[in-house]
Each structure stands twice: as structure tokens, then as C-alpha cells.
Amino acid sequence: MNTITRTDFNFTNQISKYSGKVRDVYNINNESLVMIASDRLSAFDVVLPRGIPFKGQILNQISSKMLNATSHIIPNWLQSTPDPNVSIGQICKPFKIEMVIRGYLSGHAARLYNSGLREICGIKMPEDMIENDKFPIPIITPTTKAIDGNHDEDISKEEILKRNIVSKKEYLKLEDYTFKLFEEGSRIANDQGLILVDTKYEFGQNTDGKIILIDEIHTPDSSRYFYLDTYDDLQKTKSPQKQLSKEFVRKWLISNGFQGKEGQVIPEMSDNYINGVSERYIELFEKITGSKFIKANITNIEKRIIGNVENYLKSK
């Protein structure tokens, strides 16, 4: 299975490289960023040992489509996608928080709720909810941005302002953009027979000081989706929701004794399991975009990326 799990390119006018959990980001002449979506898979803030075929292409192409579909709400960093795994855009200074928004009691919020807690990020959650119930209104539950492999941590609006991570004026803008983006993402998902359950947005400021949307949006790594047509019936019987997201990977890891805690060992991922994860990602691509997924040539992914990126940089 040919996948791209690490990169070490040296592009024209390259100044530096940063590697995140899934993406590798190259600074070109302090003017633009080349962001490469790898096939790495992370869960519980841990990068798993094997890559998922076509995952990077899927994330990159969903995100570029969604960035274009929401550019009327807020400008974003994206300028070009010269390769199936690559996005190129403007450099900006990221805000040091991620704006997580939840329309339903799922994932991390559900785990907290089921442990007996009724508050997340300073927000009270209603009593008598069951997992995957819809919140009366979506709630924003920010996290700090992890640095050097640390875990993201929940943080309240009040604590963000107290620590002056962002100013009150900036936070109110981020909050407004987050609600509007989630509303539009929910509408797009609904048109495709899906429910956008929760997601996260990241923002930054460009060289002019303008707030822009950065990173990826509405992908299976940053979002959770349910199927619209089965949601009500499954919820009535308290059955697990059929979903398209990375949560199925987290649940598989939990069932095999791994939650990213110290001393725990990542379970072995067989070829069959890896292919199954890839198929789930392809399914989400086709469901959320309404388009058939066309697999890129992966005979030599590195050579393909170098050629496409260099051709773009020469054309600028």
C-alpha cells in the first residue's frame, strides 16, 4: 500500500518546514505556505504507525471544496491546489485556540457527560440527554492549540479572555464566524443527506491584520457526520449512530485498550483494517461532496508532488 507518511522536500525559495500531526507545511520565501496533506492518521493526539491510502488526497480535496464554498462568509488562506495532496496559500499568524462547535452530544462531550459531568468549557449541558442528542442550540467549546505533541485542552471563553490569548473584540468575531460557518456547513451536509454533528475551525491574521480562515474545514479529521435518514430512528432506540468521521477509529482503539494514555500500546493495524479505514474515508468524500472519488496516481507520490508544486511556484 503506497502511502505518504513523511515528507522532506526542498522546494525553490523554501525557508522552513513544520510538521503537524497530519500535515507538513513549507514556508516559501515568507510569502506563501505549501501545505501537504499526508496519509498519516492521528487519534487521541497520537500519530498511528501506518498510513491510510488516499487519506491525504481526500482531506485536501474536501477542504479545498469547503473553503471555496464558504468564502462568502469569511476570506480564507487558500490560493491554489496544484496537486491532489497539496494546498498553497497565504502566510498568516494563527490564533492560539481552535474553535470547536458542537450541535450534538457526541464524541468528547458525550464521554464527559457519561462520566457524570454537566459542564464543558464553562458551558452547562442540559440534564437527561442521551448520547448523540441534539443540543437546543450549538455550543462552542474551544481548545488550546497543542504544541510539540502535547494534548489539546478544553478552555472556556472566560479563561481565554482572562489569559489574553485573544482580545474580547477578536474572540467575538471568531465566535460569530464559527456560528455562521457551522450553519453553512450544516446546510451543505443536509443537502447531501448528512448531519454535521461537530467540527472545528482555525483562524489567523494575514499580513494586513485581517482575520482569515486557515487550515482544513469540514473534513472527517476535523468533523463528525451522521446520516440524516437514519438519525431519528436510531436515536429513539438509543442505538449507535451510523457516522462518517474519525470516531470509528477512536472507538476501535478504545476497544483494543488504547486511549493515548501513558503506558498504553497502539494495537496492530492489519492490512484489512487499513483498507477498511480508507474505504470509510472515500465514502465520506463521496457523500459530502456528491462527487465520485477519483484516485490519484500513487506510483510515486513524492515525485508527483515535487513536479506539481515546482511547476506552480515557477508560474508565479
**In one letter, which amino acid is 146?**
A
DSSP letter for each residue of 44-83: TTEE-SS--TTHHHHHHHHHHHHHHHTTTTS-BSEEEEEE
Give the integer Cα–Cα distance in Å for 220 and 62.
Answer: 9
DSSP letter for each residue of 145-165: PP-TTPPP-B--HHHHHHTTS
Give the integer Cα–Cα distance in Å for 33 and 92.
Answer: 9
The pTM score is 0.89
136 near 150, Cβ under 8 Å?
no
Q: What is the pLDDT of residue 114?
A: 97
Distant-in-sequence, close-in-space partners of 72: CB < 8 Å, separation ≥ 6: none
**What percentage of the chain carries pLDDT values higher than 90?**
86
Q: Strand, helix or coil at 136? A: strand
Task: List, for the chain, all residue ranges whose pLDDT scores fall below the cut of 50.
Answer: 149
Give the integer Cα–Cα distance in Å for 3 and 277.
Answer: 13
Q: What is the pLDDT of residue 297?
A: 95
Q: What is the pLDDT of residue 284?
A: 83
**In one letter, which amino acid is 285?**
F
Q: What is the pLDDT of residue 44?
A: 87
Helices 247-255 and 271-289 meet at what angle, rounded to 10? 160
Q: What is the pLDDT of residue 151?
A: 62
286 exposed, middle or buried (CB, 10 Å; 0-12, 13-18, 19+)? middle
Q: What is the pLDDT of residue 146?
A: 61
194 near 287, Cβ under 8 Å?
yes
